[in-house]
Structure 1
Amino acid sequence: MINSNHFLTAALGVLVSLTTHVEGQAGYHYFIIGSGGALAIERVDPLLSPGVASNHVHSITGGNGFKATMNFADTQSSTCTTMPVKIDKSNYWMPALYFQHNGQYTRVPEAYNRKIYYKSGGHDGSFDNRTAFPDGFRMITGNAKQRVYDDTLMGTGGTQLEWMCHGPDIRSSGFPTGFQNCNGGGLAAAMRFPSCWNGQDFNAQDPLAHMAFPTNADGMAGCRAPHNVARFPEIFIEYWLDVSQFDAIQKDYNDPNNPPWVLADGDPTGYSFHMDFFNGWETGALQKVIESCTSNFGDSTPCFDANQLNNGAAQDACRLQSIVTPSENVGVTGTAARGEQGGSIGSALPGCNPIQRTQPATIHAPGTCGAATQVGGGSPVAAGGAVGTDSTLPAASASIPVVNKANAIAPPASTSSTPSMPSTGSYGGSPKSVTVKDNKGSSETWTYQGCYTDLIPDRNTRSLANWGRGDSSTSCANNCYSAGYTIAGTEYGGQCFCGNTMTSTTKKDDSDCNTACTGASSEMCGGASRLSVYAKGGTTLNKRKSHMRRHAARHEVS
């Protein structure tokens, strides 16, 4: 388990009592920093795929210190930013959108305006103990595997995902349907980030665990334990797209083989939209804004000094050369944010992303389809330079350095931010039974139950913080037994889950569990969205309203 003492110290160090109250009309306190065009549009994601090309194309905005492997110091090395506020050198990124017509994909160009809201006050119009993110803080919102509506994930207590076609004003949590154009109003996706923190660092193997969405209450009262170490400003982003060049093309929303809108991860539903954030605000700057900004209605001008503000020309000039090598055609044409046109990329999305409607979708490793996996660190280009054209950058270092600052969050010690990708192949069998022992010497026999689907795609119940331990059938079952559970399930070679019942799951043929255990290559430990399940004698697997849970956070305390 990750030692959280450092992160708790960091959190306590930045907690400040905010007592400023603005009289007048009640309402949320927030300011808007609308970003310009994209810094880069590439298959890069330093949170979930550090050092390699990510699975799908992202649109990245913010400081040009952005790299495939990065830390807080990299954000501060930025010499420019696409943000209108120079002291915000953070990076924000999200999947690109493509238009598909007769099997051919064209990237939808972005509208110039990307609105980023920072909500720093409560329902009653007051500032309510919001504190700035620690240096180098990281988080995501949404789920790339999602293909159906989920009220827990997307409703009022979640991301509040909404797609909007302005003009006819059609809104939906998935892609809006029933329109042929947006009458010049544009298409936008809107989503919020969680704002309640448990004091721990981002863990790529359980990326939503350290954060939770608040309840409908002000101040720390809105953050349930254990996510009540700090409450950050709530980030809400509207991602605007220019769909006008597709207005004249007839769209059939009911053809599953030819959907008009497809996200870069192969999603034709829109439910998998997600966002990533890497905090690069200059140390102490955001805290000062939170404490001093008196804007009730989104005007950011009073929140910043004139020398902290950027100008449109500087924003437009801030771009990165290609990070992925060799450089890919991801649908970027034109060099300026204003007037940019979407480009055709042919009959397949970059990466390993066939259209998937199945819930949950399968996330393919970039290296399994022959896609480019080498990345460089990324470097600035001259004003007006094209995005995504240079393939000469060196490969990034595999190491992730730790930021040596009192209130900084250090990245995980592992050099990879994604679960290991073990080999897959023909079914090699799982033991019919395993002998489990607890730390007191008691032992018993657990038997193999079969291969089951894992239909809880998020699996990030926010009261649980970490994956279980166990990279073989025996080791996983041992840990579950010692923690007091009666069922153990291994998934994708090295992920262990524990519980007392299972739900929303179906037994499949054993050949579906075809991923070798990372700790025992002769055994199979589940597969993609597949669990190799073992259980204590007499256990009933399937009951309603419960599911497999990670045991580490609740039962392993360090």
Structure 2
Amino acid sequence: MQWALLVVLGLIAPNVNFNPGVPQSPHLHQVVGGNAFNVTMDPNTDISTTADCTTCTFTEDFSNYWTAVLYFKARNGTFKGVPQKGNVGFETANGGGQTVYYTAYGGSNKVNVTAFKPGFRMLVGDPFARTKDVVSPKFRQLTYTCLKTASTRTGETLYFPNTTCAVGLMSNVRFPTCWDGINTDSADHMSHVAYPTSGTFESGGPCPSSHPVHIPQLFYETVWDTTKFNDKSLWPTDGSQPFVWSNGDPTGYGIHADYVFGWKGDSLQRAMNANCDVSCPTLKTQTIAQANKCVKSMNVIEDIDSWLTSLPVNMPVTYS
């Protein structure tokens, strides 16, 4: 069984993951969660003690969740940000938001998980990847769903689908689920975590001996309202798909996401132990309207919403 929490889009701000202390990231990101997110975030500081509001359904979750931003590249070479919309049941979320799932255990072996610790961070995906052979061996379950209806959950692809999507395009990011049990971060923000040696978390795959501790399956769903760009007269004349990540990726293989743990006290472990399914009586909640009030100003002021002649930060579009 899995339980879900809603994370409402409350800000678009510089990413601290790639260039700590530098006020502007190499590419644009959308960040959701607690308002302690900043240009520099001390890994020795528990951000649940410094945030005073969160865009999450569960008010003890001050974590930060972020991804790149999707853009449409028109036939004339200009770019327009693709808006997000709320997932099923969360349609009134400010700016659309993400749905973030934490799964307590996978498969039939009922292996309980250990909640993340203060200071825990991780990154999944490679913003420079442009081909399947770069992504598939290293990262699993980074996919897209071309939504026929809001509830479509089949037909996932590793790349941007080369067709219009009736309801929108969902990006799906599943993080590694095994931890070395020692380090809350690593130089590449990846080495301290790993995927199961076989199968997946959902199928009960075993953790490698180097990373023996089972951690929750962390899963982001983000719905991009690509329906605003379904007029194929705006698409490239060669029929190729027109969407590109803000990190300059027109293939979809460069999908990536970041996570900084920020749950207060033992709240996440309590929820994991209770194996909550959507609702979770052991946690405190807030309404979507209350979550929508938690916002944070952009640290770098630039136009990211108009039709642009280049991607934000002048990020080039690259195919290799």
Shorter-chain TM-score range: 0.7 to 0.9
2:84 is equivalent to residue 110 of structure 1: yes
2:297 corresponding residue in structure 1: 321
| Percent identity (aligned) | 30
Deviation per CA, 1:99-119: give whole Å up to 9, x if none. Answer: 111111110011123221111
Q: 1:141 to 1:318 in 2, by over 3 A?
A: same
Superposition deviation, residue 352 in structure 1: 4.0
Whether contact under 8 Å (2:170, 2:222) holds in the other structure is yes
1:176 corresponding residue in structure 2: 161
Within 5 Å, which residues of 2 pair with 1:294-443?
294-295=276-277, 300-305=278-283, 308-324=284-300, 327-331=301-305, 343-344=306-307, 346-358=308-320
Amino acid at match of 2:17: L
* CA distance in 1: counterparts of 2:136 and 2:279, whole angstroms: 32
**Aligned-partner SS, 2:85:** strand
TM-score of the superposed pair, with normalisation by structure 1:
0.50
Unaligned runs of 5+ in 2: 88-97
Whether contact under 8 Å (2:112, 2:273) holds in the other structure is no
* CA distance in 1: counterparts of 2:313 and 2:171, whole angstroms: 23
2:37 is equivalent to residue 66 of structure 1: yes
1:83 corresponding residue in structure 2: 56
Within 5 Å, which residues of 2 pair with 1:6-25?
none
Deviation per CA, 1:236-280: give whole Å up to 9, x if none. Answer: 111111122222352546749x85101001111011010000000
Whether contact under 8 Å (2:114, 2:216) holds in the other structure is yes
Q: 1:322 to 1:121 in 2, by over 3 A?
A: same
Amino acid at match of 1:314: Q
Whether contact under 8 Å (1:120, 1:290) holds in the other structure is yes
Within 5 Å, which residues of 2 pair with 1:85-484?
85-101=58-74, 102-113=76-87, 114-124=98-108, 126=110, 128-150=111-133, 153-154=135-136, 158-167=139-148, 171-179=156-164, 182-183=165-166, 185-198=167-180, 199-204=182-187, 206-214=188-196, 215-216=198-199, 222-228=206-212, 230-252=213-235, 255=238, 260-295=242-277, 300-305=278-283, 308-324=284-300, 327-331=301-305, 343-344=306-307, 346-358=308-320
Amino acid at match of 2:2: Y
2:90 corresponding residue in structure 1: none
Q: 1:207 to 1:104 in 2, by over 3 A?
A: same
2:28 is equivalent to residue 57 of structure 1: yes
Whether contact under 8 Å (1:39, 1:60) holds in the other structure is yes
1:370 corresponding residue in structure 2: none
* CA distance in 2: counterparts of 1:281 and 1:351, whole angstroms: 32
Within 5 Å, which residues of 2 pair with 1:511-522?
none
* CA distance in 1: counterparts of 2:147 and 2:126, whole angstroms: 25
Whether contact under 8 Å (2:160, 2:241) holds in the other structure is no
**Aligned-partner SS, 2:86:** strand
Q: 1:154 to 1:236 in 2, by over 3 A?
A: farther
Higher relative contact order (CA 8 A, sep 6+): 2
Amino acid at match of 1:73: D
Q: 1:350 to 1:176 in 2, by over 3 A?
A: same
Amino acid at match of 1:131: T
* CA distance in 1: counterparts of 2:59 and 2:237, whole angstroms: 45
Report runs of 4+ in structure 1 exceeding 6 Å deviation: 217-221
Unaligned runs of 5+ in 1: 1-28, 332-342, 359-558
Amino acid at match of 2:29: H
Q: 1:260 to 1:292 in 2, by over 3 A?
A: same
* CA distance in 2: counterparts of 1:119 and 1:239, whole angstroms: 17
Deviation per CA, 1:222-245: give whole Å up to 9, x if none. Answer: 1112111x2110101111111222
Deviation per CA, 1:393-418: give whole Å up to 9, x if none. Answer: xxxxxxxxxxxxxxxxxxxxxxxxxx
Q: CA RMSD in A?
A: 2.4
**Aligned-partner SS, 1:302:** coil
Q: 1:292 to 1:176 in 2, by over 3 A?
A: same
2:5 corresponding residue in structure 1: 33
* CA distance in 2: counterparts of 1:322 and 1:112, whole angstroms: 22
Whether contact under 8 Å (1:262, 1:269) holds in the other structure is yes
Deviation per CA, 1:334-353: give whole Å up to 9, x if none. Answer: xxxxxxxxx42x11111241
Deviation per CA, 1:111-142: give whole Å up to 9, x if none. Answer: 1232211111121173x131010112000111
Task: Work out the number of aligned pairs and report it.
Answer: 299
